[in-house]
């Protein structure tokens, strides 16, 4: 193990977090797709969509968790791909993965809040 590598426990817990978030995403994506197909049957305008999402707490919670799961799942996976395909290792990769997680969570939650508030 190189000096810059994360401790084994942290590495293992990241792996667990990625599997757990994948299990959550499997359910979220199914609900998401089913909702889209159901909601757009008659065609939708922007005001109709906003009318449904404004003040809808269930919608806010669902997509809030959805974004959190993506923010956990994607950067861990990209970190593994970068290691295997680009040979990128060490602290710089960990920082980029962390920053991408923060970006996904901030941008995602901001978008959701925009549709909710």
Partner 1 sequence: MERRPLRVQVWRGGADGALQRFEVPRRESQTVLDVVTWIQRHADPTLSYRFSCRVGMCGSCAMMVNGQPRWTCRTHVARLGGAELTIEPLRNLPIIKDLATDMAPFFDKWAEARGRFVPPPAPRMPTENGFARVEPAGRERRAADAGIECIGCGVCYAACDTVTWNPDYLGPAALNRAWTLVNDGRDGGGAERLAAVAGQGGCLACHTHQSCQELCPKALSPTASIAGLKRAVTLAALRGEV
Is 5 a residue that touches partner 1 (CB under 8 A)?
Answer: yes
Under rule CB under 8 A, how many of the chain's residues touch partner 1?
13
Q: How far is the CB of 73 from partner 1 (least distance, A)?
A: 15
Q: How far is the CB of 72 from partner 1 (least distance, A)?
A: 16
DSSP state string for 20-66: HHHHHHHHHHHHHHHHHHHHTTT---HHHHHHHHTT-HHHHHHHHHH
Encoding tokens for residue 49?
């969509």
Q: Is the dihedral of CA 35, 37, 42, 47 positive or negative?
A: positive
Please identify which residue in 3, 37, 42, 84 interacts with partner 1, judged by CB under 8 A: 84
Q: How far is the CB of 105 from partner 1 (least distance, A)?
A: 24
Query: Contact region for partner 1 (CB under 8 A) — 4-12, 23-31, 36-44, 106-114?
Result: 4-12
């Amino acid at each position: 193990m190189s000096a810059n590598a994360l401790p084994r426990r942290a590495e293992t817990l990241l792996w667990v977090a990625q599997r757990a978030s994948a299990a959550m995403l499997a359910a979220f994506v199914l609900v998401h797709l089913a909702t889209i197909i159901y909601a757009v049957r008659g065609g939708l305008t922007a005001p109709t969509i906003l009318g449904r999402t404004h003040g809808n707490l269930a919608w806010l919670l669902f997509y809030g968790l959805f974004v959190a799961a993506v923010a956990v799942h994607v950067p861990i996976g990209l970190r593994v791909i970068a290691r295997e395909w680009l040979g990128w290792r060490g602290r710089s990769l960990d920082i980029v993965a962390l920053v991408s997680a923060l970006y996904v969570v901030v941008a995602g939650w901001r978008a959701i809040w925009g549709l909710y508030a």
